[in-house]
Amino acid sequence: MKLRRLYCVPFALVLGCSSSGTVGSDLERQVEELVAQMTLDEKVAQMSGDTVISGPYGDELWSVPGVERLGVPPLKMSDGPRGIGVLEGATAFPVAMARGASWNAEVERQVGEAMGRELRAIGGNVLLAPTINNLRHPSWGRSQETYGEDVHLLSRMGVAFVQGAQQYVLANPKHYAANSIEDTRFNVNVTVDPRTLREIYLPQFRAAVHEGRAASVMSAYNSVNGQFCGENEALLRGILKGEWQFDGFVLSDFTFGTKPDSARNGLDLEMPVEFVFRDLAEQVSSGTLPEAVIDDAVRRMVRKKLEYELEAPSPVDESVIASAAHLEIAQQAAIEGSVLLKNASGALPLDAASLVRIAVVGSLADTANIGDTGSSSVQPAFVVTPLQGIEEAVGDSLLIDHIAKDVLDGDDLAAIEAADAVIVVTGLTAEDEGEGLIGAGDRLDLDLSPERESLIRDAAAANPRTIVVLEGGGAITMGDWLSEVEALLMVWYPGQMGGHAVADLLFGAANPSGKLPITFPTGLDQLPPFDNVTLEVVYDYFHGYRYLDRNGATPEFPFGFGLSYTTFSIENLQASQTAAVAGDVVRFSVDVTNTGSAAGAQVVQLYVTYPGSAVERSERELKGFVKVTLGAGESQTVEIALPVNQLAYYDVASSAWALEALEHAIHVGTSSRDLPLSTSLAVAAQAPVSLY
């Protein structure tokens, strides 16, 4: 099918702009000229969704009117974080949590770009992604949609996605802010102190709009410090548009996210249809709402339409949809995001040549299990299940007993006993977790179901060579079944190519290189409370690894952890300087060697601690990482850049970022709990400092 030309030529003609776009004051002049020509009704119409549009996908893309007579194009939107939701046959990528586990921003940039391309190919221009909410607690039903529990990792992955997607469409980081409970999401009030808000819940949004240049942001449903995010003056006008000088537009989360004071307080667009905003024109005419508020909102949307050349879409052919190239990106993301959590006595990789028969066990082994049923769901043309991937990988060279159930009988156990290796595929599904209302909501118990735990135990009791492939969108607590299995590979919801990725990893065509983007605790007692019934919650500074570090708790698997089929040495930590002042960028380097016999990738992680800080700090904080791929025996010196201003804390008294005079300790290693190399960096006090 041919790409429809969505936007009228006059937009470019009226403005006299070229297809190469416009910048700076030229752009602002053009924005002003256009807005000045609009009537109040035309302006207000652009501030609410209007789903009645034409075209092959028109009924499914959410639409926001432009101004036809001026050639100002409409906005056309789709979710979401794991693929293009409205498009049947879209590429289904691994969920964001899996991609967070890749610690590979370049792959994430490619994922964003591929999604942007598919959306543009069907005439869409706003992608309702990425989700960059910090996972305060793994019970959050939408855990799978975000990149993890750490602001630095969230920032890096969010920026990469936005930059990729915005090659084709406008990105929409969401949900601003502190949205991390599902069942009460429409009305819970999150009380969060200013330091926690600035340092833990907002930096990834700041990075997405500053560094990623995200064109739009979606506000959250919940309220923060007593005001709903969709009308939160401090968040919208104060921080986002004021301090961060965001010049794009803010749209509401859908249906329940717009509130009476939304327009006045900085929300530019009500989605998906006009409801609260239906009397905006009247409010202006009666003098209740200044027209300047309307002008500002419209200016922001017109600015982004111009800046990103939405008036002249570069033709993207529909052949990009689920193309071989996109499927390869999906498979690569699934490979890179899978985390090898246990591999006793080198159980993995399996050597197909030395095996005669294997058993592939569990109801999920041949189930398309690619994520929840909420707004982020995607309908790919096919899903390669783990069983299919394994069958394709080993061909006829192996006998495969497929036992497609979770409750095993005597015959099943006999087949398991007779196998040279047993692969149990199990975990969570959309019935266990997901978006509220349209999905399963929060997951209060982090264990697998008793039935699935028994499945693992029974298989492992029948055959010591039992390998578990675990699916799910977040942390799973394991109890003693973990000690009974030989190997454990966490593959999350690995997308439509997941089965191939699983087979590649199990049989050694690929080497696991994922690292946990969240802590896997031993139990709920290691975590802060999670209450999805009360309408008042408090978010303090500590969650995830920061919380466990502070309490001296030992998790099942720490943040940043993941094994490989090869071994690495990391040596010779060097710093470009040992003392620094505000504005400096200090470069730390280490020599990484692949000391094993297989090619593989390692994620070098840099954490900072603040000995003697006058304010309460995390025991350690991730501040940089780099993923390096090395052949067997190969070495490389890798560098991590640390902008010194990133060491600042938010000083509540002065409402500004401040660097402390401190001998910062720098730790480098391969997980938050394995940091063998250390050095220090003396930083001079400075306040205020700018984070950009």
Active site residues: 253
Cβ-based nearer residue to ligand BGC, 80 or 138: 80
- What CA–CA distances, in Å, run from 293 to 43, 229, 428, 467? 11, 18, 46, 59
**Strand positions, DSSP E, 504-567:** 536-539
Cβ-based nearer residue to ligand BGC, 128 or 302: 128
Selection from 185, 260, 243, 184 nearest residue 209 by Cα: 243
Residue 173 C-beta: closest distance to ligand BGC, Å:
11
Is the Cβ–Cβ distance between 94 and 330 less than 8 Å?
Answer: yes
Neighbours of 237 (CB within 10 A): 17
Report the residue from 72, 98, 128, 339 that binds ligand BGC according to the rule CB under 6 A: 128
Per-position b or e across 214-224, b if 16+ CB within 10 A of its CB: bbbbbbbbbbb
Report the residue from 82, 120, 137, 174 that binds ligand BGC according to the rule CB under 6 A: 174
Cβ-based nearer residue to ligand BGC, 184 or 375: 375
Measured at CB, which residue is nearest to ligand BGC? 375
Rounded Cα–Cα distance for residues 260 and 149 (Å):
33
Token duo for residue 78: 């789709």
Report the residue from 66, 74, 80, 158 that binds ligand BGC according to the rule CB under 6 A: 80
Residue 371 C-beta: closest distance to ligand BGC, Å:
13
Q: Is 568 in the site for ligand BGC (CB under 6 A)?
A: no
Q: Is 433 in the site for ligand BGC (CB under 6 A)?
A: no
- What CA–CA distances, in Å, run from 417 to 260, 421, 460, 554? 65, 9, 9, 35
3 state SS of 606: strand
The contact mask relative to ligand BGC for 203-242 (x = CB under 6 A, - = no) is ----------------------------------------
Residue 441 C-beta: closest distance to ligand BGC, Å:
12
Q: Is 253 in the site for ligand BGC (CB under 6 A)?
A: yes
Torsion 118-120-121-127 (CA) sign: positive
Cβ-based nearer residue to ligand BGC, 146 or 645: 146
DSSP state of 251: E
Q: Is 79 in the site for ligand BGC (CB under 6 A)?
A: yes
Residue 98 C-beta: closest distance to ligand BGC, Å:
18
Selection from 318, 388, 339 nearest residue 118 by Cα: 318
Which residues are within 8 A (CB) of 562 and not within 5 positions of it... i.e. 6 or more apart? 101, 339, 340, 341, 512, 513, 514, 515, 516, 603, 671
Q: Is 82 in the site for ligand BGC (CB under 6 A)?
A: no
The contact mask relative to ligand BGC for 365-394 (x = CB under 6 A, - = no) is ----------x-------------------
Cβ-based nearer residue to ligand BGC, 230 or 512: 230
Torsion 193-195-198-202 (CA) sign: negative
DSSP 271-290: SSS-SGGGGHHHHHHTTSS-
Cβ-based nearer residue to ligand BGC, 254 or 561: 254
Which residues are within 8 A (CB) of 127 and not within 5 positions of it... i.e. 6 or more apart? 77, 78, 79, 80, 84, 115, 116, 119, 165, 169, 170, 171, 172
Cβ-based nearer residue to ligand BGC, 373 or 679: 373
Positions touching ligand BGC (CB under 6 A) are 79-80, 128, 174, 253-254, 375
